[in-house]
Amino acid sequence: MMSSDCSDTASLSALPPGGHRAVARCDALGVAPYSEEKDQLFRPYLSASYRATCDCIAGWMQSAGMKTRLDAAGNLVGRYEGLTPDAPALLIGSHIDSVRDGGRYDGMLGVLMSVELVAHYAAQGRRFPFALEVIGFGDEEGSRFPAAMLTSRAVAGLLKEVPADMQDAAGITLQDALAAEGLALERMPEAARKPEEILAYLEAHIEQGPVLEAENRAVGVVTAIAAQYRFRVRMKGVAGHAGTMPMTLRQDALAAAAEAVLAIEKIGQSGPSDLVATVGQLTVVPGVPNVVPGEVIFSIDVRAGDAAVRNAATAEIRTALEALAARRKVTLEISLQQDLPATPCDAALTDMLSEAAQSVTGTVPRRMVSGAGHDAMIVAALAPVCMLFIRCEGGISHNPAEAVNPSDVEQAFQVMTRFIEDFAGRRP
């Protein structure tokens, strides 16, 4: 079904399984044809670069002793059988897709670390009472179609109705994109796994924040994934000539939006450390130099480890925006685009992962809430989940400057092997 290896990265096979090879392979997949762009990394779901990447990773999976397939949602799955055929699996992995002009390690490092784990055990001829399944989710970022974590929703059985009218910026429908890969929109729900098939899910991911670096730690253990709200806000005033409209008579939508951004920032700063509030997108209409802006559309992203904290901050933001809109005589529309509940990681698995981290590093690991969303928060509807964070330089992510230390990744690899072996030892 897929190529046996990547011809331009075959030399990587000479490296032993582990964190260093995982990093090197991430780097190899950071350029064309594994990106849609020559000068930046962009790997959207079901694109030519996504297909090339899946082919390459499938080759590495096969070399590690796995059987590979694309599921009905376009996720890449590699299975390393356990001591008995058709045993339930420990699922490990992350996502393959990237944001535009993204970094090489977001998502991909977790996928390739998982491949390295299987390669490590295959080299020893070692199998467990359970299978190891590596999954590369196709659409975590939502960078092509307007729905993040679409393919993990399919795997978790949460995609009850297929999004028939969904299309990308070029007008290509999800149905046509799937068909181009030999997949069918109406069959996407068939990617759902049965709870009895999956024992647990382990995801390794770069932290995407600066905490581990500030504390000089290679790894951290995630206790929960933050609750998230995402809104679309429309403020509408009156467009007018920039030279003839007096300042006192203006209904400037951009000035109102600017005040709103500062109010949102202030509310985000006033709560606990895990509360964040962000305006990341803003569109000005008509957007020309000599016209007072008549309309502004912007996003609001509010996250916190506790849903009550997120909800309280959101209510405060809404009240503040309503007050300033009335004062500035602009209309206000706020529509909810995304509502992700807080997802606690499984307590027993988190403790086991913490013990593995302490055994490898010699120190009690940092436990932390993930402010970023991850496929693990969706898979939690299917099976108990746990997550390991890996330090990234400067906390930078979703950026070509994203960087990791291979020695940190090697430590994470050792933590994961210890976790898998402990998990096997505690199975009945």
Give the whole-angstrom CA distance, residue 277 versus residue 266: 9
Is 176 among the annotated ligand-binding positions?
A: no
> What amino acid is encoded at 220 in this protein?
G
Is 230 among the annotated ligand-binding positions?
A: yes
Distance of CA 181 to the CA centre of its chain: 23
Give the whole-angstrom CA distance, residue 333 versus residue 326: 12
Is 398 among the annotated ligand-binding positions?
A: yes
Both structure tokens of 348: 């027993």
Which of 309-319 are b and which e, b meaning 16 or more Cβ less than 10 Å from the residue's Cβ? bbeebbebbee
Taking Cα atoms as reference points, which of 83, 82, 78 lies closest to residue 68?
78
Give the whole-angstrom CA distance, residue 316 versus residue 322: 10
Q: Does residue 37 contact residue 141 with C-beta atoms inside 8 Å?
A: no
From residue 282, alpha-carbon distances to 47, 181, 191, 295 in Å are 27, 34, 36, 11
Is 141 among the annotated ligand-binding positions?
A: yes
Element (H, E) at 251: none
Q: Does residue 70 contact residue 181 with C-beta atoms inside 8 Å?
A: yes
Give the whole-angstrom CA distance, residue 11 versus residue 60: 12
Q: Which residue has the tokens 């990093």?
A: 23
Q: Which residues of 96-150 form beta strands (DSSP E)?
A: 131-137
Give the whole-angstrom CA distance, residue 120 versus residue 417: 9
Strands 131-137 and 89-95: parallel
Give the whole-angstrom CA distance, residue 393 versus residue 385: 26
Q: Which residue has the tokens 């008579």?
A: 249
Taking Cα atoms as reference points, which of 344, 391, 395 lies closest to residue 365?
391
Q: Which residue positions form the known binding site?
A: 95, 106, 141, 205, 230, 290, 303, 398
Annotated binding-site residue numbers for allantoate: 230, 290, 303
Q: Name the binding residues for Zn(2+).
A: 95, 106, 141, 205, 398
